[in-house]
Structure 1
Amino acid sequence: MPSLFDPIQLGAIRAPNRILMAPMTRARGTRDHLPTPIMADYYAQRASAGLIISEAIGINQLGLGWPYATGIWSREQIAGWRNVTAAVHERGGRIIAQLWQMGRVVHPDFLGGRQPVSASATVAPNHAHTYDGKKPYERARPLSIDEIVEVVEDFRQAALNAIDAGFDGIQLHASNGYLIDQFLRDSANFRDDRYGGAIENRLRFLKETARTVADAIGADRVGVRLSPNGETQGVRDSDPLPLFTKALEALSAIGVAHVELREPPIDGTFGVGEVNPLARHLRSAFKGPLILNSDFDATRAQAELDAGIGDAVAFGRPFIANPDFPRRVAEGLPLVKDDAQKWFTQGTEGYLDYNNWG
């Protein structure tokens, strides 16, 4: 069985190790959703990851509702991300763009008062983070068929923009209760047209998006993130195993390069699974590399690789405070604890001031 330090082919990308950097929103962009210079430094510091999956990047204004998050629909945003990818490549790293449409968890404050969109007319639980503090979510309106076609096109264009910006590929954010996930799982999708009801219908939006993006930039540069085993932002499924088995089979047929499963354990420290991770049951449904994610340490990660459940593991929080995380794992060096109070602040503190070992 492979070691965490063995190389792996992730479609068109040759990763030198299997310790990947998970996508983490850090809110270091501008209010115009532009990447900033400190972001280039941040990602370059972490270039020893086998592959960096970027923070979530908005594909359009309608789908972006997080303060100081970034987008990739304008020429200025593309130019800003080009600085980031150049810095990572200069350090010998590889980086893909996670493409994001948040759906019903966009507060109208980000939309000039317009209503957010989703699969169906639903309201997310809890509160949205806005520039004016936390506010209750508001009811989304269901996307029309024509609008679904437009969103798929926005994903396609965002993927092309990401390649233009120098990314080595993209990942479709189809997890965590965002728009694609709102179509997938039956707690948020109550449609009675070809995008709702039966599993095949609820999969349609994901399949159309993945196929369209793969046709645009090559399937070998496309990954997908899913969250099968529990509720996130009010989105869950009453019978997840058949749903996600069919999802992985469909993505395998399209030929996407890799799939990441974000599955917190039942006793997780950041997110809690409603059932145990389903990866061991889903492994055979996808023929490409399967990336595991959530609450892993190096020991558990290697055990999952040894058991043949996954092919690589994406680590999030350990990379925040340990930019040289792969080296620390390899040499058994101590890990620094990150400061959660500075995850979403806008300065360099808690962002660029964590050092390499030695």
Structure 2
Amino acid sequence: MKIVIIPSGFKECLSSEGVAKAMNNGIQRFDPNVETMVIPMIDGGEGFAHTIIKLKKGELIYREVIGPIGEKVRSHFGIFQENGKKTAVIEMAAVAGLTLIPRNKRNPLKTTTFGVGQLIKSALDLGVDDILIGCGDSGTSDGGAGMAEALGVRFLDKYHQALNIGGGGDLHSIENINISGIDPRLSKVKIDVACNWYNILCGPRGVARVFAPQKGANPEEAEQLARNLEYYAQLILQQMEVDVRTTPGGGASGGLGAGLMAFTGATLHPRFDIIMQYIQLEEHIKNADLVLTAEGCLDYQTPNGKIPAEVARIAGNLGVPVIAITGTIGEGASINYTNGIHAYTSIIQSPTSLEIAMKDASRLIADSAEAAVRQIRIGYQMAKRKYKREII
């Protein structure tokens, strides 16, 4: 039996590498003769830079920058050389991610992407030709305004005084956008952004209404952010002639996708499409008997570009069945049965607290992977017995 293991990480718990290792441990514990291929998957969020740089045999560069709550953090980006070009890989989660914000300080009205702009400047200082930015697992909702400030954009109030945008809560104070001081080197590099294509900046399903509550906003604050981002998008359209309001991917990372598009000329991509240029999944899946994937929570949003659904799409085209192991099974999870996932199971098999489940996640994931493969083995044995009876 050959099994390909392609999980995402469990947010704020285990990286994709940690999840993959646990799944593989469970399988090998049951039968060390099972052939496994382990491919920790990335979606632009945590682990994005590490994984790409490891695959490309590049180098991680460390910098001290401003984190999401305005305090200095040690962050990183990667550099690799290929086909005569130097490419930087920036992971927004490593500089403005939710995990960098203490739970008692989570408020997207006040968190900033300023550090993302600082990392872009650091990459430019190293003379890169291309920049690949992963948008995922953010703790911000400032529309990329903080990032733009770090790159030289000035946001002015009604008195033509420069504002210091501290988060999405300040966007309504902007009257004018001055881009005369933006770093001129941006026009000489190609910037690609891996983002969730289904995330848009504004509207009923705009990023603030959907994701701000997960970042610490209460319902009133989420609506305030939605109004501010709507105003911000209109200002960008009027003064820069760039329409980011409903651009696919523009809502990624609290609107960082829109900011990158408007201020750096970046091209937004469905995250899986561009990541597949670096990781060739088809080659690994086509000869497999089974694909095991994983996600922290499987629900109705999973088919909207999340890793298990994208893995299932590729496996389905190759006729390979898929089982998903998930931390929790959320609302509307059954929709995944019609999107290529043949079965799913939760690692939580008895009443427990979230804190305990997260602490014991590696063991629980290993147990679930082992149980899944044991059930597959039963199916093999049943098929074998049926074949013998038919021969007789």
Structure 1 length as normaliser, TM-score?
0.38
Higher-helix-fraction structure = 2
Query: Highest CA radius of gyration, 1 or 2?
Result: 2
